[in-house]
Chains A and B, each alone.
Chain A
Amino acid sequence: MGDYLVLAFSCVLINNILLAQYLGNCPFLGTSKKMETAVGMAFAVVFVLVMAGLITWVINTLVLVKFNLAYLRTIAFILVIASLVQFVEMFLKKSIPALYAGLGIFLPLITTNCAVMGVCLINVNEEYTFLQALVSSFAYAVGFGLALILFAGVRERILLARVPRPLQDTSIALVTAGILSLTFFAFRGWV
């Protein structure tokens, strides 16, 4: 049990997928202008990442490793994740229309989210067990959401601050992201 907690802690904070591993930066900058969209994106990622992490683990273990075709991982995972997102979208639309309406346009955006792909590959590279893959996928997604929501809050405040003209908008956002990333470095060495 303790091992899983340590794993989760390290995935959320120490190896934060956005701020420590620099994956998934497009939605990080794209959907962080407003708190509302940031929250929507965060939940959509949690949902998809857990699903994708598990499915790709199964594919990897049952198909790729068995046939000694590990070098096909990247292309196979892309195919699987894209299909999965489509599938989830259809499933939600039919079965849980309320959730579908809530996640809305964020679901298709995740097709191109490299954080999802990245976590799937990490799970495999680290040779996690099924349960570990489940925990790490969920924790990475929570870390993604945490960073995104923090960042959106900061950006909403930045709107009110005095910013020199050349640094306005995306420039100041990148600077802020850097500083936020540095603060997460403080967790290094805890585990």
Chain B
Amino acid sequence: MIEAVMVMLGVGATCGAALSLASKIFYVYEDPRIAEVEGLLAGANCGGCGYPGCAGAAAAVVAGGAPPGVCVVADMETAVAVAGVMGIDPGTMEPFLSLNTCDGGNRAEDRFEYMGVNTCQALSALYGGKRECRVGCLGLGDCIRSCKFDAIHMGEDGYPVADETKCVGCGACEKACPKSILTVRTMSQRLLHFNQQDNALAPCQQTCPAEIDIPTYIDCIRRGDYEGAVDTIRERNPLLLTCGRVCPHPCEDYCRRGLAEEPVSINQLKRFVADYEMNSGSRLPIPCAPDTGKKIAVVGGGPAGLTCAYFLRRLGHGVTIFDMMPKLGGMVRYGIPEYRLPKKVLEWEIEGILDLGIDHRPNVKLGADFDIQSLKDEGFDAIFLGVGAWKDYSLRAEGEDLKGCFTGIDFLTRFAVDQQSAEPARDIPIGRKCIVIGGGNTAIDCVRTLVRLGAEEVSIVYRRTRKEMPANEVEIVAAEHEGVQFHFLAAPTRIIGDDQGQATHLEYQKMELGEPDASGRRRPVPIEGSETLMETDMVITAIGQGPDVSFISENSDISSLGVTRWNTIDGDPETLQSNIPYIFAAGDAYTGASLVVEAIGGGRRAARAIHLYLAEEDVVPVPKSLRKKHIPESLFERVEGLRPSKRAVMPELPVKERIQGFEEADLVLAEKDALAEASRCLNCCRLCYNPDLQISSEQPAEESA
């Protein structure tokens, strides 16, 4: 007996000694913070966070792989204490929330009957699932079973719905979902997501420069959830009232329904929900991340600046907008006439953005009233330049400075400032016979404004043909309806004045179309000796505009800021960061005169880069970026089996009525038309359309397409 006890004690002691010796010999340095963090965690080893026990979670926190709030059992205080150990500012903490990107929509066709185990994982192992659509939700609820907090339930339409109030962001559902449909992201991560090559994206969403999730918002409208539609748009575009009115909707050119018949009127639907919110009398709440204490100066309060400020504010940063004009909006306010975008609408939209807590300093011009150095002295951590393109190109023709001659942006801005002042002076002399030179949107805005100001005869002189006019088609048609005369293939050569220096005639040379040039448009070639005179008393030149970058030379500390040969600010196309790391640029100042929606996309892209810069992370391009590209296999040549349906017609004021004043000419869709239009959407890439599959005639196409 004694022997046995002795031997056991001996073996035990030897083992203990060997182990303690080994722990000294094989000691591996371990960050002491791991033990500290582990001490703060709940210690339940529940695995709810997805790491093997609390020790694993602590190691992940210290390694930077998990946020301080990783523990799903502990409360906010623990998270703050963990953040304290890690030296992270707990203010930047944001909750993770589960988001289901697939909302079912119309279900795709079944490919085969499935009798196996009722789990998504098993089903997806069979050719990616039983449905024709390989992307969408399988609806067997693996995520629901994986959720330890009862935060997901099966919705009425057979797809899971996450309850934000119960979700703790543990990520279990994301791991359980074999289709990467449920994602657990913070709001900031969602706001900063850009289209990627491997995302399931409808062609319209790939085309939209602001990357709005178009099928989702149209689906929201179809279901009558107008607020959901507004929220969906706002995740990408804060200026939905404006875009709903003025956007030339490049997305509609790629609409799959457009391959067979008329495309869905995407933009009118946007305007419908945007107006719905405005007319509902209350604003939908816009959540912002907790304050980070960082400050950004946004120079220029146009669409790019407003968008950048909006997203940075939602990410929790402090933003101040500096603008040279008395009111915000930039070219949207001072370039787009009242009849296209009523100022009261714009006012309401901008107010909603400023209400997030954005400061606005009006009437200050970069280079004159402040400069980059003064912004740095004031403590701004980054600077966004969205100064726009406000400088008219000159015609470089004789007689341009005669009385009665104007340039496009200058004319529109002067008129808009006067119109919006408390007591309009109406001191711009309007001629009887007015000529506008140019074929872009600025030129059309000028002629339609002149018509409303009572000019007897308004003409457009353009050196190419109607087909080559860069202005929006609807705008050209509206101008035609309003009685504007078009003179195509006419290149102005000089303006002739009388003794008093007043313009009396425009001389132009007739042109004919020659070989296509670099832009693919046929180059106009002058016809010798075809000079013709046109009687006029007012000439507006609207042949294009560029950014005014004179502030760079006036400002020694940023004289090195890169500028392209088109006078736009140079920068990385993906991050919009200039060669001076704390300066970012977007909008017309970066692209040259372009679309509002392009500026909005740029503003968000710059906000992402600024957010990375402020977090002291590498300002890297979006991984697998789809900027200005399409996913080739998502573009079809034809779509068959559709039941044709009429595209909603935009209601507009009768011509006689609208040219009397500046009342809004285009009207919003009626609710029943909007619902009918929304049901025309094929809901692409939320259920898959197989172009090779024969759709039988007795099946309604909308359900299988």
Contacts and interface: CB of A to CB of B under 8 A. Distances in A.
Interface of A: 59, 63-64, 67, 69, 71-72, 75-76, 79-80, 83, 86-87, 90-91, 93-95, 105, 159-163, 168
B26 A93 contact: yes
B11 A87 contact: no
A132 B655 CA distance: 103
A79 B8 CA distance: 9
A69 B4 contact: yes
Which of B3, B11, B18 has the largest number of chain A CB atoms within 10 A?
A: B11
Interface in B1-54: 3-4, 7-8, 11-12, 15-16, 18-19, 22-23, 25-28, 52
Given A83-B15, A91-B22, 16 more contacts: A59-B11, A64-B7, A69-B3, A69-B4, A72-B4, A79-B8, A79-B12, A80-B15, A83-B18, A86-B19, A95-B26, A159-B125, A160-B125, A161-B117, A163-B116, A163-B117
A161 B19 contact: no
A159 to B, nearest CB: 4
A76 B12 CA distance: 8
Contacts of A90: 19, 22-23, 26
B47 to A, nearest CB: 12
B649 interface: no
Contacts of B196: none
B19 A67 contact: no
A137 B11 CA distance: 22
Nearest to A75: B8
B397 interface: no
B474 interface: no
A91 B122 contact: no
A173 B82 CA distance: 42
A161 B23 CA distance: 49
A160 B16 CA distance: 49
Contacts of A161: 116-117
B28 A93 contact: yes
A162 B7 CA distance: 57
B121 interface: yes
B126 A72 contact: no
Nearest to A72: B4
Contacts of A94: 25-28
B115 interface: yes
Contacts of A87: 18-19, 22
Contacts of B19: 83, 86-87, 90
Nearest to B126: A160
Contacts of B25: 94
Contacts of B3: 67, 69
Contacts of B126: 160
Contact of A72 (B7, B15, B121): B7
A63 B7 CA distance: 8
Given A83-B15, A83-B19, A87-B18, A69 B7 contact: yes
Interface string B110-126: 00000111010110011
B11 A63 contact: yes
Contacts of A95: 26
13 contacts: A67-B7, A69-B7, A71-B4, A83-B19, A87-B19, A90-B23, A90-B26, A93-B26, A94-B28, A105-B52, A159-B119, A161-B116, A168-B117
A61 B119 CA distance: 53
Contacts of A93: 26, 28
A54 to B, nearest CB: 15
A160 B114 CA distance: 9
Contact of B117 (A64, A69, A83, A159): A159
Contacts of B116: 159-163
A93 B29 CA distance: 11
B22 A160 contact: no
A69 B27 CA distance: 35
Contacts of B16: 83
A91 B117 contact: no
Nearest to A91: B26
Contacts of B12: 79
Contacts of A159: 116-117, 119, 121-122, 125
Contacts of B11: 59, 63, 76, 79-80
A175 B52 CA distance: 30
B511 to A, nearest CB: 70
A36 to B, nearest CB: 14
Nearest to A163: B117
